[in-house]
Amino acid sequence: MGYKVVVAGATGNVGREMLNILAERQFPVDEIAALASRRSLGTECSFGDKTLTTQDLDTFDFTGWDIALFAIGSEATEKYAPKAAKAGCVVIDNSSLYRYDPDVPLVVPEVNPEAVDGYAKKNIIANPNCSTAQMVVALKPLHDRARIKRVVVSTYQSVSGSGKDAMDELWDQTKGMYVPGQEKEPNVYPKQIAFNVIPHIDKFMEDGSTKEEWKMVAETKKIVDPKIKVTATCVRVPVFVGHSEAINIEFEDFLDEDEARDILREAPGILVVDKREDGGYVTPVECVGDYATFISRIRQDSTIENGINLWCVSDNLRKGAALNAVQIAETLGNRVLKKA
């Protein structure tokens, strides 16, 4: 027997990717339901060679369903996730609502698969922020070897992280730069995103950091090790899909760059492309549609005693969201539910 799976928010960027990845990875599905808000009711979605018609999230009965992948934002999740969980359906939530709840595991399967076992307290598992997910995949195997003291990360995050309207805004603004009369003023973002970079993702906090930067700090501590110090600067860039990160890592013990490269080559979920020549690294354009987190530019940092620099790139709609959610479902099935 397989699982009865629900995808809530099936018409959005992440929801569609969840359906694609469930099919690609041949997740053992006996029955699947695509849910959406009433304004998207009846929209068709692809699931492998099948076409699904969306059902109404508001009236859907979760009783008898095994797993629900949520990609509907925090406000809607707050309303519908407890309803699904109470009906016995395990919710894997892509929003930020439950990430910092001590009774809800925050899981990246390559890093802390055992955390899935704690799902039963609320019948909910949280998916981390997209920028955190790819970073901790790279940090964990290095932390196991040399213990990380501090991480300094600068992100270069694509507009798809803000949703379809943001992707449209980048497209329209880019066209408007060349076509008189088609200029597009900022709407999704506070400043022009085309041919520009914006050092501002999510809301500003009292200490001057943004919520996105705070998320990377808090989530890394919860997923990997609360002792790791993290400081982040998160930047939106005019890229449609694919987040990039320049990461500086300070260790307790010395770690040679060659050993770091070998460790990362053997680590799950990672592909190392690190040639010291023109084009010997991965950029966002090349990572789109791929499952892997790509690591390049691995090198010693000579300004601190035990330091390594690296470049980390991943498809944020996949590893940063949909893929990680499906991997959590796989881990939950293998470790706990064991139906298929």
Task: Point out the annotated binding site for substrate.
Answer: 157, 236
Q: Pairing state of beta strands 307-314 and 293-300? A: antiparallel
Catalytic residue flag (residue 243) = yes
- 45, 89, 143, 243: the active-site residue: 243
Which of these, 216, 3, 219, lies nearest to 107 by C-alpha position? Answer: 219
| Closest to 96 measured CA to CA, from 173, 46, 161, 50 | 161
Question: Can you say which residues are annotated as belonging to the binding site for NADP(+)?
Answer: 11-14, 39-40, 160-161, 316
- Are 20 and 71 spatial neighbours (Cβ–Cβ below 8 Å)? no
Cβ partners under 8 Å of residue 49, min gap 6: none
Q: Who's near 83: CB < 8 A, 6+ residues apart?
A: 62
Q: Which of 130, 234, 287, 312 is catalytic?
A: 130
- Residue 37, C-beta contacts closer than 8 angstroms, at least 6 positions apart: 57, 58, 72, 76
274 in Cβ contact with 339 (< 8 Å): no
Binding-site annotation, residues: 11-14, 39-40, 99, 157, 160-161, 236, 316
Question: Annotated binding site for phosphate, which residues?
Answer: 99
Q: How far apart are CA 107 and CA 178, in angstroms?
A: 44
> What b/e sequence results for 13-42 when a residue is b if at least 16 CB atoms lie within 10 Å of its CB, and e otherwise?
bbbbbbbbbbbeeebebeebbbbbbeebee
Residue 143 designated active-site = no
Question: How many residues make up the chain in this entry?
Answer: 340
Active site residues: 130, 243
